Amino acid sequence: MNRAMLLTNHRIRTGVAATMLIAGSLAVPGIAGAQGSLSALGFGYPVNGMSIRASGTAGAFGDIDPLSPINPAALGGIARTVLSAQAEPEYRRLTVGGVTERTASQRIPLLAVIFPAARGVAVGFSARGFLDRSYTTTTRGTADVDGASLSTNEQLTMRGAIGDIRGAVGWQIGNWARVGLGGHIFTGENTGVRERTFADTLRFGSTLDSSRVTYIGTAVSIGGEIRLFKGLAAAASYRAGNRFEARIRDTTRAAGNVPARLGGTLRYDGITGSSFAVGFEQVNWSAMQSMASSRTRAHDALNLFGGAEVAGPRLRGVPLLLRAGYARTDLPFSTTSAPVREIRLSGGLGFPLARDAAAIDFSLQRATRSLAGSAAREAAWLLGVGIQVRP
């Protein structure tokens, strides 16, 4: 019995160490079914951490919205202090052949505060989700102990996320331009717990092991917005990533770079009470490939967005804001040479409160995801609610 327990413990520790050594990027054949999610492959789903207003437009307003910590130039000209918090749970359904599995993720994707300063300058601080990776895998198999084949049940639970903490300053230059600069700290952890139990519980006890990977990286972002002519403006932003490390017990086990990002948006607000935007972003996710396992592929992404916000019916004399949007995005990680493709349709509502001293926003997104060459199909609902207070 002691020998069997030692052998099993050794195998468990070896498996967990190997998994966590590659920065928590577990990837094995059939992982989509095992994880219950196409979007949680590799280091996880790119949360983006936009405001609920931007989520209601499927991300089209991300580069021009001051509460979305993407383009620091969007802070310029903010005249009132703004406090914001939001939640955005996701409910997923994965179908492989005739088998369906449902999972859920509870997220707080963004906390933000903006302080106005003199002469069109504003300062913002935010904490947003960057990558989210949480799942539980249960497998059944056998283990050889002293020449005997024993039935086993093994459960691997991963809980982890990487966040983006940003401090930024934006400056509005007259009525025609804005510029901004931001500094980012990317940090988080993945915790893996592996438990193996034997069918013969009278002779063999269960084994349990765990390991944790922490992440640390930095980046700098710049942005600008310029009014081309009445009703039309263009915005652009760029994030330059620095070294990104995965550590186990304060020892660096893998390193790469924070993915660089380039984005651009055209906005038209020449119709009173309405705003329309189209945009793109390119994210260099392959900068994280050296941190991943050999079975995980990191793919650079080109994402496209389009969305609108229009004034709707009035509530106590103030118009409600109606939002809608469409996005086509590539998710950063997969197990093949092709990325997971995501299509999102979104809608949203904005409710001003207390004479614009506060507001509450709602968004609803429908996402469908597929991987070329795979029978796996994933559909998800993302529900968002955000509150802003302007004291």
Range of lowest pLDDT (47-56, 126-135, 221-230): 126-135
Identify the band that residue 20 occupies on the pLDDT scale cut at 50, 70 and 90: very low
pLDDT over threshold 50, residue 249: yes
Give the model confidence (pLDDT) of 142-176 as tens digits.
767 666 677 777 777 777 889 999 999 999 998 89
pLDDT over threshold 70, residue 250: yes
Give the model confidence (pLDDT) of 93-133 as tens digits.
988 877 888 888 888 999 999 999 988 999 999 999 999 88
**CA–CA gap between residue 169 and residue 178 (Å, rounded):** 11
pLDDT score, position 30: 35
pLDDT score, position 391: 85
Range of lowest pLDDT (35-49, 179-193, 206-220, 234-248): 35-49
> What one-character-per-residue DSSP string does 217-255 give?
EEEEEEEEEEEEETTEEEEEEEEEEEEEEEEETTEEEEE
Sheet strands (E) in 65-202: 82-87, 90-96, 99-105, 110-116, 121-145, 148-173, 177-198
pLDDT score, position 191: 83
pLDDT score, position 26: 35
Identify the band that residue 200 occupies on the pLDDT scale cut at 50, 70 and 90: low
Give the model confidence (pLDDT) of 265-310 as tens digits.
999 999 998 999 999 999 999 999 999 888 889 999 999 999 999 9
- Nearest Cα to Cα of residue 323 among 44, 17, 62: 62
pLDDT score, position 369: 96
Higher pLDDT: 198 or 83? It is 83
Higher pLDDT: 7 or 300? It is 300
The angle subtended at Cα 327 by Cα 330 and Cα 70, nearest 5°, is 80
pTM, 2 dp: 0.83
pLDDT score, position 115: 95
Give the rounded percent of residues in the chain with a pLDDT score beyond 70.
86
Higher pLDDT: 38 or 276? It is 276
**CA–CA gap between residue 80 and residue 377 (Å, rounded):** 45
**CA–CA gap between residue 264 and residue 280 (Å, rounded):** 6
The mean pLDDT of the chain is 85
Q: Which domains does the chain have, with CATH numbers?
A: 2-79+106-349 (2.40.160)
Give me the phi and psi of 48, to 5 degrees please.
75, -30
Question: What is residue 157's three-state secondary structure?
Answer: strand
